């Protein structure tokens, strides 16, 4: 296979990659997106719950090809069974659709192709190419052949297991306390309330939660995230074991049958100090742009991808592929998501320290309060009124 020469090379065809490729191509860049897998979107590594509000902002039109269900709210369930119900309005539109992630990813890749981007599947980046001290492409493999892809701008959208950033010397290393390890079944023939996505907190999922995201009237994604730092060595498949134990205790779920098993991991860290270097920008999971509290990453990835694609095309026009030029991307994505990431990381750091009794007390108060909007300070004040001792740990957030 001959070497390839493009303006922008995007590595990884998840949402971050496809949205970046789309916006680079729309702005006139000769864009190629490569994907390691033979099929974009498969296998799914996602709980598939997304908010609705951000789709408009990115020009992504909801499509029944990738929407499996729409919920009206979410519920947080404490270990003792106290239920806090959040409507979509209260949660700031952070709940909404449960999607078919494989179809969603394919739709975004089609958008990129329609905008003019080329796509190569079953193509793996195996090392970086460098020119004049900057990243200038990758050595890639496709069907046993190795070839060079030269590019002025390289986009690392290569997911949780990202290699490009680390090869480029960008520190994306995660502490075990900033990783949640996940397992999930898509269950059919279960008894559920299709109005709500449920989040079960407490010792059922140390440092994380169990989710029940509704796919249809009798079907849901039932999954778990467990904080890696809470998994002891010598325990094989801790995430799956915790999930199996949870399902066994819930007859309405245990009666179901699994039509899919999903594994994965998500970062739940603070915003990284830098996600760029000369010639390269990281986007999405690769840039650790995941909401550290929920583990949701699709919205942030797409938001960052749009900015990365636009900045990449501007870099071409300026003929400047330096890290300093890419500060426009750093500023752009941080303006959109950094504050919330940092706040939610703080909240996560507190929540992972709580025991079951504390979760019960907190959820009991909130369940009774009938919240109008979800506001961290309001929540803390409500709890403080009844259980001041619980809020001690959070006092610094109240000042």
Partner 1 sequence: MPNKPNIDRALCLHCGACVGCCPENAMFLHEVWIEFLPKCNACGICARACPAGAIFMEASR
Total residues binding partner 1 (CB under 8 A): 37
The reply on whether position 139 binds partner 1 by CB under 8 A is no
Residue 234, exposed/middle/buried by CB under 10 A (0-12, 13-18, 19+)?
exposed
- Distance between CA atoms of 258 and 184, rounded to whole angstroms? 10
User: Which positions from 180 to 199 touch partner 1 by CB under 8 A, shown as an x/- string?
Assistant: -xxx----------------
C-alpha 380, offset from chain centre? 27
223's tokens: 């999954």
274 contacts 173 by C-beta, under 8 angstroms: no
Least distance from partner 1 to the Cβ atom of residue 190, Å: 21
CB of 47 to partner 1, least distance (A): 13
Q: How far is the CB of 140 from partner 1 (least distance, A)?
A: 13
- Note whether 169 binds partner 1 by CB under 8 A: no
**Letter string b/e over residues 46-70, b meaning 16 or more CB atoms within 10 A of that residue's CB:** bbbbbbbebbeebebeeeeebbbbe
Quote the CA–CA distance of 274 and 287 in Å, as a whole number: 9
Of 66, 97, 104, 160, the one binding partner 1 by CB under 8 A: 160
CB of 42 to partner 1, least distance (A): 11
User: How far apart (Å, rounded) are the C-alpha atoms in residues 57 and 52?
Assistant: 10
What's phi and psi for 86, nearest 5 deg? -115, 120
Which is closer to partner 1, CB of 176 or CB of 251? 176
CB of 285 to partner 1, least distance (A): 8
According to the binding rule CB under 8 A, does residue 17 interact with partner 1? no
Cα 347 to Cα 344: distance, rounded to the nearest angstrom: 5
Q: 358 to 377, contacts with partner 1 by CB under 8 A?
A: none
- Residues numbered 260-319 forming contacts with partner 1, rule: CB under 8 A: 261-265, 267
In this complex, which beta carbon is closest to partner 1, that of residue 3 or of residue 161? 161
Cβ 243 to partner 1, closest distance in Å?
9
Shortest distance (Å) from residue 71 CB to partner 1: 25
Residue 26 binding partner 1, by CB under 8 A: no
Segment near partner 1 (CB under 8 A); pick from 75-83, 100-108, 175-183, 384-392? 175-183
Q: Smallest distance from the beta carbon of 154 to partner 1, in angstroms? A: 17
List phi, psi (to 5°) of 183: -140, 150
Closer residue to partner 1 (CB): 235 or 377: 235
User: How far is the C-alpha of 360 from the C-alpha of 114, rounded, in Å?
Assistant: 50
How far apart are the C-alpha atoms of 216 and 75, rounded to whole Å? 17
CA distances to 139, 363, 394 from 391, in Å? 53, 13, 5
Q: How far is it, in rounded angstroms, from Cα 57 to Cα 307?
A: 12
What DSSP character marks residue 347? H
Output 157 or 182, the one with its CB closest to partner 1: 182
The rounded distance, in Å, linking the Cα atoms of 263 and 327 is 34
In this chain, which stretch among 236-244, 274-282, 325-333, 391-399 interacts with partner 1, using CB under 8 A?
236-244
Residue 323 interacts with partner 1 (CB under 8 A): yes or no: no
Closer residue to partner 1 in complex, CB, 182/293: 182
CB atoms under 10 Å from CB of 16, counted, come to 33
Shortest distance (Å) from residue 162 CB to partner 1: 7
- Least distance in angstroms from the C-beta of 236 to partner 1: 3
Smallest Cα–Cα separation from 250: which of 39, 28, 81? 81
Tell me which stretch binds partner 1 (CB under 8 A): 166-174, 291-299, 323-331, 344-352. Answer: 166-174
Which region among 7-15, 132-140, 232-240, 350-358 touches partner 1 (by CB under 8 A)?
232-240
User: Does residue 67 touch partner 1 according to CB under 8 A?
Assistant: no
Q: Collapsing DSSP states into helix, strand and coil, what is residue 198?
A: strand
Binding site residues, partner 1, CB under 8 A? 36-38, 43, 45, 122, 124, 159-163, 166, 173-174, 176, 179, 181-183, 228, 231-233, 235-241, 261-265, 267
């Amino acid at each position: 296979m001959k070497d390839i020469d493009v303006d922008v090379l995007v590595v990884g065809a998840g949402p971050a990659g496809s949205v970046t490729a789309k916006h680079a191509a729309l702005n006139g860049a000769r864009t190629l997106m490569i994907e390691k897998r033979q099929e974009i979107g498969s296998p799914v590594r996602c709980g598939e719950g997304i908010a609705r509000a951000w789709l408009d902002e990115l020009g992504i039109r909801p499509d029944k090809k990738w929407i499996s269900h729409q919920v009206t709210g979410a519920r947080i369930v404490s270990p003792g069974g106290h239920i806090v119900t959040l409507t979509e309005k209260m949660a700031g539109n952070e709940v909404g659709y449960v999607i078919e992630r494989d179809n969603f990813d394919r739709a975004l890749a089609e958008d990129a192709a329609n905008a003019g981007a080329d796509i190569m599947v079953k193509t793996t980046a195996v090392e970086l190419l460098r020119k004049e001290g900057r990243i200038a492409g990758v050595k890639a493999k496709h069907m046993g052949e190795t070839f060079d892809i030269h590019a002025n701008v390289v986009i690392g959208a290569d997911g949780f297991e990202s290699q490009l950033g680390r090869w480029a010397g960008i520190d994306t290393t995660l502490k075990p306390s900033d990783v949640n390890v996940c397992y999930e079944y898509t269950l059919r023939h279960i008894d559920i309330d299709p109005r709500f996505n449920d989040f079960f907190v407490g010792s059922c999922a140390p440092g994380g939660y169990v989710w029940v995201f509704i796919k249809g009237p009798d079907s849901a994604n039932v999954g778990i995230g467990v904080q890696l730092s809470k998994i002891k060595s010598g325990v094989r498949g801790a995430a799956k074991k915790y999930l199996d134990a949870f399902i066994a205790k819930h007859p309405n779920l245990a009666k179901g049958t699994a039509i899919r098993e999903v594994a994965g991991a998500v970062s739940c860290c603070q915003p990284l100090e830098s996600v760029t270097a000369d010639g390269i920008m990281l986007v999405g999971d690769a840039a650790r742009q995941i909401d550290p509290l929920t583990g949701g990453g699709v919205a942030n990835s797409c938001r960052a991808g749009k900015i990365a694609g636009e900045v990449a095309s501007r870099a071409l026009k300026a003929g400047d592929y330096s890290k300093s030029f890419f500060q426009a991307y750093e500023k752009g994505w941080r303006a959109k998501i950094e504050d919330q990431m940092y706040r939610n990381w703080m909240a996560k750091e507190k929540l992972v320290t709580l025991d079951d009794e504390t979760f019960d007390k907190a959820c009991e108060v909130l369940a009774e309060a009938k919240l109008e909007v979800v506001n961290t300070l309001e929540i803390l004040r409500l709890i403080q009124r009844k259980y001041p001792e619980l809020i001690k740990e959070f006092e610094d957030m109240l000042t």
